[in-house]
Amino acid sequence: MAAVTDTPKRGGIRPLWIAGLIAALVLAGFVSYYASASPDGLEKVAADHGIDKRTEDHAAKDSPLADYQTKDVGDARLSGGLAGVIGVGATLALGTGVFWVVRRRPRADEG
Amino acid sequence: MHVPDGFIDAPVSVAAGAVAAAAVAVSLRGARRELDERTAPLAGLVSAFIFAVQMLNFPVAAGTSGHLLGGALAAILVGPYTGVLCVSVVLLIQGVLFADGGLTALGVNITDMAIVTVVVAYALFRALVKVLPNGRGGVTSAAFVAALVSVPAAAVAFTGIYALGGTTDVALGKVFTAMVGVHVLIGIGEAVITAATVGAVIAVRPDLVHGARDLRRPLELKEATV
């Protein structure tokens, strides 16, 4: 039993995980304030050529985080930064949850 | 490149939703082989990192910006099946919480930004890794090119979907030329970010980079047990 114990002993993932999370939080929480506000490639092409004539309002346009701003937070830097940090947290939680459920369990199942 | 509601008609949006759902189902099965108790938390982090970097629009031309799509990055770091899921999670969060990317267009967005980018980037990456010199430089260069090509590939996919179900009547040649043109420029940014990130992770933990497993194969053989 338990033939599959090939986990290499090369150290934990924690240092890399923490470094990556800090990077994500800094990028979404602070650096995002300095991002270009110009329309992105699709938005620009759509506006230039009229692809967007029938655009509909977003169903979540009244979301408290719509357009990466936190509702009722006046300061633009804080409002956007907070939205970014919440987004990183939400994505991390959903992604980790999905991947943890999907992962291979340590038991003998020949692949 | 988030498509809002109303660009693509209902039948094609539904069809793209079905394609996306099927791809996610296949990816959920495939990701099982790519994920264990060490890599699953890293894959969650890759999702969060892509969300963060997608907020960082960089200027590409007069009055136009672009941002990372992340399919290439995710596929190379944690594997292609997991990569599709990483980007899909980001698109779902963006659509539901941030009103970015229409909810009826979620299938369209997953199809061009999660599936097409991952499939194109990963296929190209694998091919390039075989012909480039083995080592960190080879893997990083392959990541650069794969990421660069994946963005105009997504633009081509959007044009195809628009051809099938666009709600407006714009000449396809115009859409194709404009979309591919600007997304080649955005692809350069995608390539720089992807190569820098893959290179940085390989520098510290090559054993945790899915696309760099070949680099550590000789090491693994030595410690292999029966």
A29 domain-assigned: no
Task: For residue B67, give every residue at least 6 positions away whose Cβ sits within 8 Å of its Cβ, in sequence order, or none.
Answer: A35, A40, B53, B54, B55, B56, B57, B58, B186, B189
C-beta of residue B132 within 8 angstroms of C-beta of residue B45? no
- B93 and A68 within 8 Å at the Cβ level: the answer is no
The HSE-up count of residue B151 (CA atoms within 13 Å, CB side) is: 31
- A59 and B5 within 8 Å at the Cβ level: the answer is yes
C-beta of residue B104 within 8 angstroms of C-beta of residue B10? yes
What range defines the domain where residue A97 resides? 75-105
* Residue in chain A lying closest to B62 (CA): A38
Largest CA distance in chain B: 64
Report how many domains make up chain A: 1
- A36 and B58 within 8 Å at the Cβ level: the answer is yes
A28 domain-assigned: no
Span B177-203, average pLDDT = 97
The pair of structure tokens assigned to A37 is 């506000």
A41 domain-assigned: no
Contact status of B106 with chain A (Cβ, < 8 Å): no
| Spatial separation of the C-alpha atoms in residues B31 and B62, rounded to whole Å | 40
User: Mind listing the pLDDT tens digit for each residue in B137-173?
Assistant: 999 999 999 999 999 999 999 999 999 999 999 999 9
The pair of structure tokens assigned to B194 is 């992807």
B-chain CB neighbours of A68 within 8 Å are: 55, 98, 100
Q: Locate the domains of chain B by residue range.
A: 10-223
User: Mind listing the pLDDT tens digit for each residue in B71-113?
Assistant: 999 999 999 999 999 999 999 999 999 999 999 999 999 999 9
- A39 and B98 within 8 Å at the Cβ level: the answer is no
CATH architecture type of domain B10-223: Orthogonal Bundle (1.10)
CA distances from B111 to B71, B131, B203 (A): 11, 29, 32
Q: Which of residues 4-63 of B touch A (CB under 8 A)?
A: 4-7, 28, 31-33, 35-53, 55-60, 63
What single-letter DSSP state applies at residue B103?
S
What is the model's pTM? 0.92
CA distances from B180 to A42, B98, B154, B190, B191 (A): 10, 26, 9, 14, 16
ipTM of the complex: 0.93
Does the pLDDT value for residue B117 go beyond 70? Answer: yes
A95 domain-assigned: yes
A51 domain-assigned: no
